[in-house]
């Protein structure tokens, strides 16, 4: 296959995906967002108010449980018992939105990935990274270890199982197959003592798009929440997300591919407080809260009342005619960021919990709407290193992205979602298509877009039709 031209986004780093890391000033949102907000709740304002008042006490109880349990609250699955553990822990994973899968890749194999990457960086000292003076996150997408990990049979098996066992389609005609596709993302090798990659609580997959009619509104992903019946919202219904538009603003690193789970494969042993991941493990409640938060305001501010009185439901009122365009923490072209000030009822100081101790070869996955963060300071004695590898199903938009990503691989440029430039086009020992074909199974080649997708005969009519369409899109 011939290499395509480099993609058109400007050069940058992971810092450009978040206002807090980029250093830019956040401007007020345009008035059209006020109109979007009004349209979302028009005619059922009372239902929304009632639902907010039901949500706050339940959220408080769940916060107390999370604080009490800490990392123990995160479900843990063993790769060797994958199918059994997924059945036994399904309801808890659905409630928490996050899981650790132990032993996906043999430990020594996972450790060797990091040493190979470090050698690749040594051979190519012009590799971009964040921050430039003390790299922690590298602008690498096509190193040999990354390619091997994405195509690893164990990883593909886990990805397929997670999608098939946890996600569902409310409409069997949905144009979606639970066949895993590869998404080329970055990697992190975070050094002890680092405080620069202090990315606070955030949600990826866009920001303002969650309230935009031409964003997530296209699939009605959050309709139940905006209608005042958040209890009926199903975070695991894939049907509503198939037509959703995740990136309307061409952000640097704003993912346009539907990722059912975000995830990373560990290349190091990492404990809590050692530069690891933190999550808010209350997927349904937290999503309902940060989506409804822009419609409510405090009557008395913290400088006038106690914390408990400030958080009390009776201190919060529907903004009504005083509503503004503000969507707390949402900025076009950047990830959704959350904070104690903007989202006080989430109690993020106490409900962002570390994932349990991680070994090389363990996989951590979290629902695409999960609030997550990284340790502010890496207090460990050795590096905290991961390959970012999400879990992506087959949809029409994902297949079209895969075509562009395949071209980026052949040219050595970053994937279409990411900051542009020549990337690894001039890197020494950058893997080629021949290398991919030499190490990948048929499943791995399919996931990367280099082999015709197999028929999905055991699934829905929508899935079968999607495979046929995807093969046309991919040129097979």
Q: What is the pLDDT of residue 199?
A: 84
Contact 195, 377 (CB under 8 A): yes
Q: Is residue 153 part of a domain?
A: yes
Q: What is the pLDDT of residue 1?
A: 46
pLDDT grade for 16, boundaries at 50, 70 and 90: low
Q: Is residue 336 part of a domain?
A: yes
Q: Is residue 1 part of a domain?
A: no
Q: How many CB atoms lie within 10 A of CB 408?
A: 27
Q: Is residue 165 part of a domain?
A: no
Angle formed by the axes of helices 283-292 and 45-69, nearest 10°? 140
* Residues 153-205: tens digit of each pLDDT: 999 999 999 999 999 999 999 999 999 999 999 999 999 999 888 789 999 99
Could you give the CA distance from residue 84 to residue 106 in angstroms, rounded to a whole number?
A: 20
Contact 474, 453 (CB under 8 A): yes
Q: Is residue 188 part of a domain?
A: yes
Q: What is the pLDDT of residue 5?
A: 38
What's the whole-number mean pLDDT along residues 447-452? 98
* Residues 105-149: tens digit of each pLDDT: 999 999 999 999 999 999 999 999 988 888 999 999 999 999 999
- Whether the pLDDT of residue 472 is over 80: the answer is yes
How many domains, the chain?
1
Q: What is the pLDDT of residue 154?
A: 98
What's the whole-number mean pLDDT along residues 435-442? 98
- 204: domain CATH number is 2.60.120.330
Q: What is the pLDDT of residue 253?
A: 58
Residue ranges of alpha helices (H) inside 242-361 are: 283-292, 307-311, 348-351
Could you give the CA distance from residue 181 to residue 163 in angstroms, rounded to a whole number?
A: 12
Closest CA to 363 of 88, 189, 110, 86: 110
Query: Which residues, in sequence order, are CB contacts of 112 under 8 Å at separation 6+?
Result: 145
- Whether the pLDDT of residue 321 is over 80: the answer is yes
- Whether the pLDDT of residue 2 is over 70: the answer is no
What average pLDDT does the structure give for the chain? 93
Could you give the CA distance from residue 200 to residue 179 in angstroms, rounded to a whole number?
A: 32
Percent of the chain residues past pLDDT 70, beyond the cut: 95
Q: What is the pLDDT of residue 6?
A: 40
Domain of residue 238: give its range: 31-160+183-393
Q: Is residue 177 part of a domain?
A: no
* Residues 344-391: tens digit of each pLDDT: 999 999 999 999 999 999 999 999 999 999 999 999 999 999 999 999
Q: What is the pLDDT of residue 18?
A: 66
* Sequence-ordered strand ranges (E) for 258-327: 261-266, 277-279, 296-298, 316-318
- Whether the pLDDT of residue 78 is over 70: the answer is yes
Residue ranges of alpha helices (H) inside 139-203 are: 144-150, 153-166
Q: What is the DSSP string of 32-98?
A: HHHHHHHHHHTT-HHHHHHHHHHHHHHHHHHHHHHHHHGGGGS-EEEGGGHHHHHHHHHHHHHHH-E
Q: Is residue 379 part of a domain?
A: yes
Contact 71, 354 (CB under 8 A): yes
* Residues 191-245: tens digit of each pLDDT: 999 988 878 999 999 999 999 999 999 999 999 999 999 999 999 999 999 999 9
pLDDT grade for 456, boundaries at 50, 70 and 90: confident
Closest CA to 82 of 106, 57, 99: 99
- Whether the pLDDT of residue 14 is over 90: the answer is no
Q: Is residue 422 part of a domain?
A: no
pLDDT grade for 13, boundaries at 50, 70 and 90: low
């Amino acid at each position: 296959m011939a290499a395509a031209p480099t993609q058109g986004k400007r050069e940058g780093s992971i810092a450009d995906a978040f206002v807090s890391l980029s250093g830019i000033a956040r401007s007020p949102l345009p008035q059209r967002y006020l109109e979007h907000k009004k349209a979302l709740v028009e005619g059922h304002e009372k239902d929304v108010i009632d639902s907010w008042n039901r949500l706050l006490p339940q959220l408080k109880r769940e916060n107390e449980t999370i604080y009490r349990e800490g990392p123990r609250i995160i479900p843990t699955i063993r790769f060797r018992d994958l199918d059994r553990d997924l059945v036994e822990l399904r309801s808890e994973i659905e409630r928490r939105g996050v899981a650790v899968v132990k032993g996906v890749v043999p430990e020594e194999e996972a450790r060797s990935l990091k040493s190979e990457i470090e050698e690749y960086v040594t051979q190519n000292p012009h590799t971009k990274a964040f921050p430039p003076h003390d790299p922690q996150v590298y602008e690498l997408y096509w190193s040999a270890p990354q390619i091997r990990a994405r195509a690893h049979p164990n990883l593909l098996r886990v990805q397929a199982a997670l999608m098939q066992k946890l996600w569902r389609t409310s409409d069997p005609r949905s144009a979606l197959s639970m066949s895993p596709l590869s998404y080329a993302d970055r990697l992190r090798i975070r050094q002890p003592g680092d405080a620069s990659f202090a990315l606070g609580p955030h949600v990826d997959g866009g920001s303002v798009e969650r309230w935009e009619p031409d964003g997530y509104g296209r699939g009605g992903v959050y309709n139940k929440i905006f209608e005042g019946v958040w209890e009926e919202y199903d975070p695991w219904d894939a049907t509503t997300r198939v037509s959703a538009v995740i990136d309307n603003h061409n952000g640097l690193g704003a993912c346009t591919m539907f990722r059912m789970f975000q995830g990373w494969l560990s290349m190091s042993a990492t404990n809590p407080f050692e530069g690891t991941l933190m999550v808010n493990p209350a997927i349904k409640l937290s999503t309902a809260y940060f989506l409804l938060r822009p419609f409510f305001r405090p009557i008395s501010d913290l400088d006038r009342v106690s914390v408990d009185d400030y958080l009390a439901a009776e201190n919060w009122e529907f903004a009504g005619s005083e509503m503004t365009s503000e969507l707390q923490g949402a900025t076009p072209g950047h990830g959704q960021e959350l904070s104690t000030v903007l989202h006080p009822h989430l109690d993020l100081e106490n409900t962002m919990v570390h994932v349990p101790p991680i070994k090389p070869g363990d996989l951590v996955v979290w629902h695409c709407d999960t609030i997550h963060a990284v340790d502010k300071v890496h207090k460990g004695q050795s590096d905290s290193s991961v390959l970012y590898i999400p879990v992506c199903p087959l949809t029409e938009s994902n297949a079209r992205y895969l075509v562009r990503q395949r071209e980026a691989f052949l040219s050595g440029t970053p994937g279409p979602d990411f900051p542009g430039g020549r990337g690894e086009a001039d890197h020494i020992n950058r893997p080629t298509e021949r290398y991919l074909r030499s190490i990948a199974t048929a499943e791995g080649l399919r996931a990367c877009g280099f082999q015709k997708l197999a028929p999905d005969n055991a699934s829905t009519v929508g899935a079968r039709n999607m495979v046929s369409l995807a093969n046309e899109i991919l040129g097979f």
